[in-house]
Structure 1
Amino acid sequence: MKFLASLLIFPVILGMCSFNKEPNKSSEITTKTTITPENKPFAIVQLFTSQGCSSCPSADLLLEKVEKEYEGKNVFVLSYHVDYWNRLGWKDVFSKKEFSDLQYSYSSKFGSSSVYTPQAIVNGGVHFVGSSEAKMNSYLSKYLGMDSENTLEISELKKMDNQIEFNYKVEGNVAGKNLKIALAIEKKETNVKRGENSGRKLSSVNIVVEQIEISLNKTSGSGIIKIPELVENGDSLTLIGFIQSQNFDITAAAQEKI
């Protein structure tokens, strides 16, 4: 496990930026609907990882294993690539400062002033070393035995050029909560040429490339998320939405492949 030795000070980011991209794809339109039934248990795993960290590939593989073994069981996984390991000689193409900022926000919640990789967080409530299969399964079992507080419906997905439009509907108490929408590449392999993982081909699943936040002033509406330039033709994309409180507890989630 890698610990960041010195304190890096980042501003707390409550929402992720959207990046513009010049249209280079033909327009596509798809219409889909996904629903998390009311009170149905769920679990969402957020893995903070980096291609520049030698301890991270085992956690990346475990996340992929979780995705396969828990398929159809209302378990969602997301990979957030942080940027603070880029100084070691390899710049992680998926890394963003916003994701490092997000990890520091979680760190404050858990009473720490430092961060580490690989770090896994389940439902925004617990964290552990992301390569620990025993803890992963234990926490997934815990949350899959608990009723959810909200219902989330994502519908009318439309992919057009460099953006995805969608509608959403939330049921249950939304006081102090926001809707987060993450756009992710389903799976990608990268040949790492420098740094701690030099010479290795690394694989990641559900790599977050963009994330936005929507204030739940009303329980239904629409939104748009941009497709960033690093997404290539042929990349399979997925949209994962989740409801999160100001204390970072996650109370519902839904996913739809695009």
Structure 2
Amino acid sequence: MKNTFLILAAIALSGLFFLNCFMFPDSQEELMGKSKSEKTNLEISNNNGFAVVELFTSEGCSSCPPADELIAKLHRETGNKNIYLLAYHVDYWDRLGWVDQFSSKEFTNRQQKYQDWLHLFIMYTPQFIINGTTEFAGYNESALNGKVSDALEIKTAADLALTAKPDKDSLEIHFKTNLLEKNTSLFVATIQKQATSKVIRGENKDNTLHHIQIVRQLNSFELTNKEGKIALLKPKNFNPKDFELIGFIQNTVTGKILITKKADLL
């Protein structure tokens, strides 16, 4: 009887894990019957709005490559507009036969934080989050276009300037902003612009996956001054051609991203 109970408990826990991985709900707004964005095509506003597009993905998830393709398409179509793309590779798929070389527990923790901030029932991949305030499944191109368009329409009075100076083993970041609010932190993402992986096990076995805007490091600093300097560890093989730095100020209670900017590499 005891063994039967343990087996049933293991099956239940396994089921919860797979629920997290395989369920692809629409956004919380849609689940609660609230109106969706009417836009289905990307519309670039003349306002000074911005869109931070965060994708949670994994090489071990068969549903993730289409989302990777969507973010690559958005990158091609928008160029240097105020759209900032960050792809985080989570690590909870690594146990299922393929270890994603870009995955990190840190990025899983960030997704879990969004689960708290956005009051979500489950955590899943692929998942898009826009400006820290709205989320939806990674297969939903119309939602991606609509939510990005909506974000670009929102004017902001906040400003942020970032410069990065490489040293031997570190990057010295100088920041300046007109925004200083309670419960805010400056986040700096070190991003590898592109990479290719040949997957030999797991759900994407025998597929060659192409990635862009891969977050390799995410560092945060409590924002106590409008101007200052911070230092980051330089990732292996860092160079200005293949990497970039994106900084953003985020409310650490609500998750809302208040302003963002790419760093000028000196």
RMSD of the TM alignment (CA)? 2.1
Structure 2 match to 1:211: 218
Per-residue CA deviation, residues 71-107 of structure 1 (Å, 9 max, x unaligned), is 1220000000000000110000110101101101101
Please state how far the C-alpha of 1:239 moved relative to its aligned partner. 0.1
Higher helix share: 2
In the alignment, structure 1 segments of 5+ residues that lack a partner are 9-38
Q: Percent identity?
A: 35
Q: Which residue of 2 aligns with 1:188?
A: 195
Mapped partners of 1:124, 1:48: distance in 2: 13
C-alpha separation between the residues in 2 aligned to 1:135 and 1:163?
Answer: 38
Q: Which has the larger radius of gyration?
A: 2
Determine whether 1:111 maps to 2:119.
Answer: yes
Determine helix, strand or coil for the equivalent of 1:108: helix
* Deviation, structure 1 residue 235: 7.0
Query: Hey, what's the Cα distance between the residues in 1 that align with 2:240 and 2:154?
Result: 38
CA shift, 1:7, in A, is 7.5
Q: In the TM superposition, what is the alpha-carbon distance from 1:255 to its structure 2 partner?
A: 1.1
Q: Gapped runs of 5+ residues in structure 2?
A: 1-15, 22-46
Instruction: Give, in angstroms, the shift of residue 161 of structure 1.
Output: 2.9
Question: Is the Cα contact below 8 Å between 1:86 and 1:92 reproduced in 2?
Answer: yes
Higher relative contact order (CA 8 A, sep 6+): 1
The 5 Å alignment of 1:104-183 reads 104-155=112-163, 157-183=164-190
Give yes or no for contact 1:43–1:140 (8 Å, CA) kept in 2. yes
Q: Indicate whether 1:240 and 2:246 are aligned.
A: yes
Over 3 Å counting, the alpha-carbon distance change for 1:142 and 1:119 in structure 2 is: same
Secondary structure, counterpart of 1:47 in structure 2: strand
Q: 1:136 to 1:95 in 2, by over 3 A?
A: same
AA partner of residue 242 (structure 2): S
Query: Contact between 1:123 and 1:250, CA under 8 Å: does it hold in 2?
Result: yes
From 37, 40, 49, the counterpart of 1:41: 49
Structure 1 partner of 2:227: 220
- Following the alignment from structure 1 to structure 2, what is the Cα–Cα distance between the partners of residues 233 and 197? 30
1:251 matched to 2:258? The reply is yes
TM (norm. structure 2) is 0.79
User: As a proportion of its length, which structure holds more strand?
Assistant: 1
Task: Label 1:178 to 1:234 Cα distance change in 2 as closer, same or farther (>3 A).
Answer: closer
Deviation at 1:150, TM superposition (A): 1.7
Distance 1:190-1:234 versus aligned 2 partners, 3 A rule: farther
CA contact (8 A) 1:171 1:219 kept: yes
- 1:114-149 deviation line (CA, Å, top 9, x unaligned): 210000000000000122110000001101000125
Kept in 2, the 8 Å contact 1:51–1:92? The answer is yes
Is the Cα–Cα contact under 8 Å of residues 184 and 238 in structure 1 kept in the other structure? yes
Of the three residues 48, 63, 71, the one matched with 2:79 is 71
SS at match of 1:121: strand
Work out the CA distance in 2 between the residues paired with 1:151 and 1:216: 14
Residue type matched to 2:211 in 1? S
Q: Deviation digits for residues 166-208 of structure 1, max 9, x if unmatched?
A: 1000113422211100001001111111100011111111101
Change (3 A) 1:7 1:57: closer
Equivalent residue of 1:84, what SS? coil
Amino acid across the alignment from 1:241: G
